[in-house]
Amino acid sequence: MSSPIAPPVRALELLGSYEAGWSLPQPFYVDDEFYALDVEHVLVPSWLFVTHDCEVPNPGDWVRIDLFEDSIIVVRGNDGEVRSFFNTCRHRGSIVCLDQAGHSRKLVCPYHKWTYNLDGSFAGARYLPDDFEAELFGLSPVHCETIGGYVFVCLADDAPDISAFAGAAEPFLAPHGLQDVKVAHTETIIEHANWKLVMENNRECYHCGHAHPELMQTIDEFDGPGSSRHNDKFLAILEKKLTGWNSDGIVHEQTTEGGLEWRLVRIPFTNDGVAMTIDGLPASNKILGTLRESQRDLGSVRMLHFPNTWNHVQSDHVVSFSLLPLGADETKLTTRWLVHRDAVQGVDYDLDHLTKVWVATNGQDRILVENNHRGIGSRGYRPGPYAPGIETGTADFTSWYTTMLHKGLTG
């Protein structure tokens, strides 16, 4: 039964008494009206990672992405630029691109065949008056930025400035040559859990030791940036790797200018691993970008950008994650494995070796967050405290979220 108090008022009341470092009150995770507040005040005003530019490699290539009540397309124009538009016809509003991906010289609405150029401008239609002002009827643009091969979009009228993130990401990603990669595999899973629980779960490794045997082959549960609990073994690995990286000019130091919203840091693997595989061995023979064979041992660039992406950019492959909320209790998580575009499956890489760790880890995490969501729906749920030193990233996320929502509700 919904409350007689308006959702924005209830949300502000709960935010007023929310104690940082604790999980959120129940409605933030399960209430449809609170989810609508998330969409309006947190998700729409944010930059969202939706695809890689290598998924639209040629002019005329496009992908469709459905976000909340919107559908958008990301398309590469004849000038090579990647742009995004609302996938809504300027005639009477039909969806223009019905498939999930395609290649077209022009974008043609299936309803009455209004036609658009790849840059979104109106290209033609039948039976229009002589004084039809074509320049007023281009597809509505969506803010779109390509950063090191990652395509971010923002649905808001006024997008926040993303230039500081772009500037910080560039030196981390440049040696990995993400302009010369391809998607070797994509996994899309629907998690029956609120999107914030998917992100909260990703931000901590409190559960890793007992839940993720595959992942723990190459990472340490206390290897998070700034962790106060680094053990001696990990500190020794860190010291050795940083010396090599520094002499090679490999960027690794954790960024700070992104505040709670984003950060980049390079972290070494444990157990002498050079890639996030089950045995720590390279997943692909073809090293990425400008790297040399002697530079296989680069750990991973952990690139985080709230609210929807975390990444492991490695010397021979990349694992990217794009979280897209579908409702209060449903979240789509798309994982992509990228390798050098010249790498040949079965010759340079084995798909099972490449994907095994994160296919297993995603499956384990899905069960954890679905159980978390199920338990939060109970009358017995009360917010609980995040553990100091190991759930810091989770506390950071909920602090970012509550600040963003408060700002949106009071702005």
Which residues lie near ligand FES (CB under 6 A)? Answer: 89, 91-94, 109, 111-114
Q: Which does 369 bind (CB under 5 to 8 A by kind): ligand FES, Fe ion, none?
A: none
Question: What is the rounded distance in angstroms from the CA atom of residue 276 to the CA atom of residue 269?
Answer: 8
Q: How far is the CB of 217 from Fe ion (least distance, A)?
A: 14
- CB nearer to Fe ion: pick between 31 and 365: 365
Q: How far is the CB of 289 from Fe ion (least distance, A)?
A: 28
Please state the three-class secondary structure of 72-136 as a single string. Answer: EEEEECCCCCEEEEECECCCCCCECCCCCEEECCCEECCCCCCEECCCCCEEECCCCCCCCCHHH
Q: How far is the CB of 234 from ligand FES (least distance, A)?
A: 57
**Environment class of residue 293 by beta-carbon count within 10 Å: exposed (0-12), middle (13-18) or buried (19+)?**
exposed
Q: Which does 365 bind (CB under 5 to 8 A by kind): Fe ion, ligand FES, none?
A: Fe ion
Q: Which does 92 bind (CB under 5 to 8 A by kind): Fe ion, ligand FES, none?
A: ligand FES
Q: How far is the CB of 87 from ligand FES (least distance, A)?
A: 11
191 binds Fe ion (CB under 5 A): no
391 binds Fe ion (CB under 5 A): no
Residue selected from 365, 392, 394, 398 as contacting Fe ion according to rule CB under 5 A: 365
Greatest CA separation for the chain: 77
- CB nearer to ligand FES: pick between 89 and 144: 89
DSSP output for 232-292: HHHHHHHHHHHHHHHHHT---SPP-TTTTTEEEEEE--STT-SSSSTTSS-SBSS--TT--
Residue nearest to Fe ion (CB): 365
Question: What is the rounded distance in angstroms from the CA atom of residue 323 to the CA atom of residue 21?
Answer: 23
338 within 8 A of 178, measured Cβ to Cβ? yes
Q: How far is the CB of 129 from ligand FES (least distance, A)?
A: 16
Give me the residues that bind Fe ion (CB under 5 A), please: 365
